[in-house]
Chain A
Amino acid sequence: MPSQPRERLWFVLPGVLIIVLVLLIPILAALGLSFFSYPLQRPDLGIHFIGLDNFKRLLADTTFMNSLWRSVQFTVGAVASEMIVGTILALLLKSHVWGKSFFKVAFMVPMMMVPVVVGVAWRLFLLPDFTPLGPIFQFLHIPFDTSKLLTDPGWAMFSVILADVWQWSPFVMIMMLANLQGIPDDVYEAAQMDGASRWKTFWTMTLPLVAPALLSVAVLRAMDAVRTFDLVYILTSGGPGTATEMVSVYNYKIAFSRYDMGYASAVSTAVMIVLAVVIFGALYMLSRGGKKR
């Protein structure tokens, strides 16, 4: 072979370089900036080294802690619902139904839509007093005040989760469908021969077979859900009050409405640390789960 190992590094260099430049260096910069005071709107104050002051402020910042907790609520709520809805859809589409390919394509549309537009669509759809759900609920005699959906703190979080489920359940569906199709038919034939019911086959055969895939799809989705920004920003922009202000939105607001760049970097650093702990914890558990099998 003409190309030597050293020369081959040139092939991966551009790709690696661009990632280092745009992603890794900024992370280090954020880490460094978190020890500085850097109010962008007051250039007269300049940039000062203030040691751990930002982090001290952070630990006492209840808004930050609450936003972190809301991110957890959102992520758990959305990902769990998406896993259930997506898996049900995949199971239905795997079985014998009419209009299969039509449904498959139609269900993919929400997933590919611009997240900003998903926010716009749900905002218009749920606007208090103007939501078409009001008349529908009235017609069905469901006593529910639909104006709560964006104005009541608890229901607002529900609405944001609902919109996320609307957009991302199809992703789980596609992934699970690919996995279900990978299960050889003779597994099912054998089960049928043994006289196992459909219900029992699902719990004892299908579910254990796709469990590793379920887990990895859930991890993928959780990683995306934690950093959800566009959807929340457009749908509720964190409101009512701070009821749906997740850590991504809070971080953004500190940086780009208060222009407090030092403190924003401290928030970013804290988020990175929390995420790293969670991700490595999850990976550790995943690898241990893999060994047991």
Chain B
Amino acid sequence: MLLGLGSIETALPYWLCIISTIGCIGYGIKNWNNSGTPDTVNIESLVQEGTDN
């Protein structure tokens, strides 16, 4: 578990880096197409507004 590292103080973050990245990958895959609740504002209209400037 320590992977040859000298203490839990260094082995723990080593593992946590890998585990948290795997967790983030899992989160990304699980929510790959999840857009959440639709926006109440239309982005197109804001972009159009900006064009006028």
Q: Do A and B bind each other?
A: no
Binding site for B on A (CB under 8 A): none
Residues of B within 8 A of A (CB): none
